[in-house]
Structure 1
Amino acid sequence: MRPHLALIEDDPDFALMCRTYLERAGFTVMWAIDARAGKAAMYEGGIDLVVLDLGLPDGSGLELLRALRSTSRLPVIVVSGRGGEADRVAGLEIGADDYLVKPFSQRELVARIRAVLRRSQPPDVPVVLEVGALRVDTAAHQAAVAGIPLTLRPKEYALLELLARSPGRVFSAEQLLEQIWGASWQQPATVVEHVYRLRGKLSGLPTPAPRITTVRGFGYRLDP
């Protein structure tokens, strides 16, 4: 799934530039223009990381960070025109995970975000998903039915793993595009093609296998 960011920034032009670049880089972005809206965004839930400007029109970004750190370890990257050592030290000591001084390149911002997200994630725990005779090893990125390995392309495997994580749940084409391809602008025909190929590989096995069911008007689900 695409990481969900909260961008708390009072400069509309700068915020639009950041948001556009970050979304193209594979993130979803919620923009808040001041401390009040930023606080609501941070505590809304579903946010993976906050990009926080310090100079907000209705309060200090540092105070917002201090309040957040009293209850949460949500990753925060401070972005600010205040590049002095005292400012950087204050932000990091209060609890920022990184501090980026304006102006900076959007590529650097993306790299810093990805680095902080990697550090904040717990170590991967290998998970084996079982749906009927299907066994999906998420650590090895391999799938088998009744011990018979499936030869899958990367997106076919990603599709099968996603469906196997929630058997019986219906996923729309738009949800599958967003979560697997990271881009809802792709054509739904992309999903149809991959479902068709994956169905062929499951049905071509010499043993009964789970099936991908089309729920007309809604999407697809995996049935044991």
Structure 2
Amino acid sequence: MRPHLALIEDEPDFALMCRSYLERAGFTVTWAMDARAGNAVLHESRVDLAILDLGLPDGSGLELLRALRSTSRLPVIVVSGRSAEADRVAGLEIGADDYLVKPFSQRELVARIHAVLRRSQPPDVPTVIQAGSLLVDTAARRASVGGAVLTLRPKEFALLELLAAAPGRVFSAEQLLERIWGSSWQQSATVIEHVYRLRGKLAALPAPAPRITTVRGFGYRLDP
């Protein structure tokens, strides 16, 4: 899909030039001429990155950036004729991901956009975890051993996924409650029950399966 950019810029000639170049470079561009229209685009459309001018006719681009940063981590590149160090520092401290001083080349703008989008992407996480003969497909929410699929309840799958992602590591009951149930105030019996059921399902498989080992006084680990 083409990345969607919000171009918030009040100079029509400059904005039209930028939009034309960026669209040819493979982006979808929505142009807003002032802070009010820009705010609407940012909150009503699915935008991947904003290009924000500081000198807007109905307000400061810095104020728009400050308001955006209170609710969102959307990547923002500030473009401005203000080249003073204080202006650049202010923009970056408020939360701009980059600051580009006019005039600049369109090629440089495209390069900066690609760089900021790369930095904003979450790290690649493997969708399949392997621990010995156990395969856990996190995208399909499926676990199998030697081709035999395990029938798991959501919390059982989450428990197996967590243990399989770090085989040999011991997790305490409190850690498991916090990571899987989202709280540590529940009784440790909740973990004990789920470990018991998961052990039974692993043991019932026709192929040799990893086992969940109790480390007395510490917690549980998966041994491939």
TM-score above 0.5? yes
Q: Match of 2:5? A: 5
Distance 1:8 1:21 in 2: 15
1:112 aligns with 2:107: no
Using the TM superposition, give the Cα deviation of residue 126 of structure 1 relative to its aligned residue in structure 2, in angstroms.
Answer: 4.1
SS state at 1:43 partner: helix
Q: Match of 1:26? A: 26
AA matched with 2:74: L
Aligned-pair RMSD on alpha carbons?
A: 1.0
1:99 aligns with 2:99: yes
Q: Which moved more, 1:118-127 or 1:91-100?
A: 118-127
Q: Match of 1:72? A: 72
TM-score (norm 2): 0.56
Distance 2:13 2:44 in 1: 25
Using the TM superposition, give the Cα deviation of residue 127 of structure 1 relative to its aligned residue in structure 2, in angstroms.
Answer: 4.6
Q: Match of 1:43? A: 43
Q: Match of 1:205? A: none
Using the TM superposition, give the Cα deviation of residue 123 of structure 1 relative to its aligned residue in structure 2, in angstroms.
Answer: 1.2
* 5+ long unaligned stretches in structure 2: 129-224
* 5+ long unaligned stretches in structure 1: 129-224
| Alignment length (residue pairs) | 128
1:125-154 Cα distance to aligned partner (Å, 9 max, x none)? 3458xxxxxxxxxxxxxxxxxxxxxxxxxx
Distance 1:12 1:30 in 2: 13
TM-score (norm 1): 0.56
Q: Match of 1:198? A: none
Distance 1:16 1:113 in 2: 17
Using the TM superposition, give the Cα deviation of residue 45 of structure 1 relative to its aligned residue in structure 2, in angstroms.
Answer: 3.4
Distance 1:124 1:24 in 2: 28
Q: Match of 1:200? A: none
Q: Match of 2:16? A: 16
Q: Match of 2:121? A: 121
Distance 1:20 1:87 in 2: 28
AA matched with 1:27: F
1:197-216 Cα distance to aligned partner (Å, 9 max, x none)? xxxxxxxxxxxxxxxxxxxx
Q: Match of 1:89? A: 89
SS state at 1:29 partner: strand
AA matched with 2:75: P
SS state at 2:44 partner: coil
Distance 2:122 2:45 in 1: 18
Distance 1:29 1:15 in 2: 10
AA matched with 1:113: I
Percentage identity across paired residues of the two chains: 87
1:142-187 Cα distance to aligned partner (Å, 9 max, x none)? xxxxxxxxxxxxxxxxxxxxxxxxxxxxxxxxxxxxxxxxxxxxxx
Distance 1:45 1:37 in 2: 12
SS state at 1:77 partner: strand
Q: Match of 1:163? A: none
